[in-house]
Structure 1
Amino acid sequence: MSDKQVVLITGGLTGIGRASAIAFATLGANVVVAGRRDAAGKTLAEELRSLGAEAEFVNTDVRREDDVRALVDRTVELFGRLDVAVNNAGTEGRPSPITDQTAQTYADTFDTNVLGVILSMKHEVRVMQAQGSGSIVNISSTYGHEGAAGAAVYVASKHAVEGITKSVALEVAGSGIRVNAVAPGPTDTGMLTRFTGTPENKAALVTEVPMRRLGLPKELADAIVYIASERASYITGHILNVDGGHSAN
């Protein structure tokens, strides 16, 4: 079994997930990326291998427990263990006033953002408890601890992620597993473009950031790498804001 760190990233094909995969691979980790698009996944795995990493793509829908179980088991089958899990798979849902929301828009958002995290953690913890070590990083948002008009369902889902993070951190604190979350502020990704809808809306969001710019996916990836690492060995149950000062307002 290799002594290289083994990292699993859900929602790993674009944005913060992709940047994180590249960051871990650059540091020499073995990386498994999960997503739902085969061509993009295989291309990313090849890119990670070109950086010197052993890498694999596994087609996974985090809303389906059988998929998640198979993803975690495949990671262990390939590399013998699971050191770091980054639960990044998420959706912006359909931002709109509460009067436009339906049971279906709720389910579409919560099944990925909340159920997906719960199922992922269930099986990641299963493996990490058996090996007596591991680090889990969930991806929240500044909206995980703030409100946003017109985005109540998305905001609720990210509040849930932060509550789940703290609760599971307490459950497993004595078993060698750390559980934290990184909460990005406005970050220059395709999801942000979809979420804001127009260039004007995106520009308006920037004005709410004290540093007066969007975050870069690599900046979020660097924070994820840090809090997942042994350099953060006494940190668990923490929400790390990486938001240009947004949460300090």
Structure 2
Amino acid sequence: MVNSFSLAGRVALVTGASRGIGRAVALGLAAAGARTVLTARSGKDLASLAAEIAGRGGEALVLEADIAAEGAAGRVVADAAAWAGRLDVVVNNAGAIAAAGPFLELTREDWRDTLGLNFHATAEVCRAAGPVMLAQGSGSVVNMASVAGTNGVPMISHYAVSKAAMISLTRTLATEWAAGGVRVNALAPGWVTTDLTGPFAAVEGLADSLVHSVPARRWGAVEDVTGPALFLASDASRFVTGHVLVVDGGLSAYEGGPGLLDLVPAGRIGLA
């Protein structure tokens, strides 16, 4: 029997849903039949997304909130569960990089702001959603990590650490909640074209260098993350928990520098 990708009759909460990966994932979950709860700091962008979902025959609730603010996660989860009477999917997508620079130049505030949104807010959403899902005996949490959380990444040490912490949280909650019917997994995108990565692409020569380090020879589009998110959210992955699904065009599978990829079309190299 093939497990279903359908989310008909289910309720999905997406944080950071107003743009980028969060927006694309919300549209994908809605297209699969989920009633969506959309939260972010930009109410205007959320309203536009909700209207697009409604125009496609879906249903969405907009909850404007700074998910990193004290008490916000609990209120958002409570409002989502009250609206629909249940909560089946949570996609913890909200995230940011407060600044980029060498480790010794990043400030305490840079670390506080980045970990506050990327990790602590995710943990608080899980803290609020866990009891709801465990009480109903089912649920899927998808945490948006990054390949930066599995590798050493210069210039964004605080971001990398926040994503590594998210991966550890994912695996820990997966083991704690599995017997209660709740799955917890993470997605780890590589270089995806978003507002978050825009400043890196704007650095002269850097975008081309980064593309040449990706075997797929391109950056990802936000839509490239939608299918993997749907897989983890749906019953198609019903026996998958504690997993980190990498979506990076082969970046993390490749150990060499860009120059080696350039040699592939030339074929075998004589070294003797």
TM-score, with structure 1 as normaliser: 0.96
**For 1:191, what is the secondary structure of its paired residue?**
coil
CA displacement at 1:227 relative to structure 2: 1.2
Q: 1:180 aligns to what?
A: 185
Using the alignment, how far apart are the partners of 1:48 and 1:198 within structure 2? 35
Q: 1:56 aligns to what?
A: 61
Are positions 1:135 and 2:163 aligned together? no
Unaligned runs of 5+ in 1: none
Q: Indicate the structure with greater helix content.
A: 1
Q: 1:236 aligns to what?
A: 241
Q: 1:84 aligns to what?
A: 89
Contact preservation (8 Å) 1:193, 1:202: no
CA displacement at 1:93 relative to structure 2: 2.1
1:99 aligned to which of 100, 104, 115: 104
Q: 1:219 aligns to what?
A: 224
Between the aligned residues of both structures, percent identity stands at 36
CA displacement at 1:47 relative to structure 2: 1.0
**For 2:161, what is the secondary structure of its paired residue?**
helix
**For 1:178, what is the secondary structure of its paired residue?**
strand
CA displacement at 1:196 relative to structure 2: 4.5
Question: Could you say if the C-alpha distance between residues 199 and 52 of structure 1 is closer, same or farther in structure 2, counting changes exceeding 3 Å?
Answer: farther
- Residue type of the partner of 1:220? V
Structure number, greater radius of gyration? 2
CA displacement at 1:194 relative to structure 2: 2.7
Using the alignment, how far apart are the partners of 1:121 and 1:148 within structure 2? 27
Contact preservation (8 Å) 2:200, 2:206: no
Aligned length: 248
Superposition misfits of 4+ residues, deviation over 3 angstroms: none
- Residue type of the partner of 2:38? V
2:50 aligned to which of 21, 45, 49: 45
1:116 aligned to which of 92, 100, 121: 121
Using the alignment, how far apart are the partners of 1:191 and 1:222 within structure 2? 21
CA displacement at 1:204 relative to structure 2: 1.6
Q: 2:9 aligns to what?
A: 4
CA displacement at 1:210 relative to structure 2: 0.8
2:29 aligned to which of 9, 24, 28: 24
Contact preservation (8 Å) 2:91, 2:143: yes
CA displacement at 1:64 relative to structure 2: 2.3
Contact preservation (8 Å) 2:92, 2:142: yes
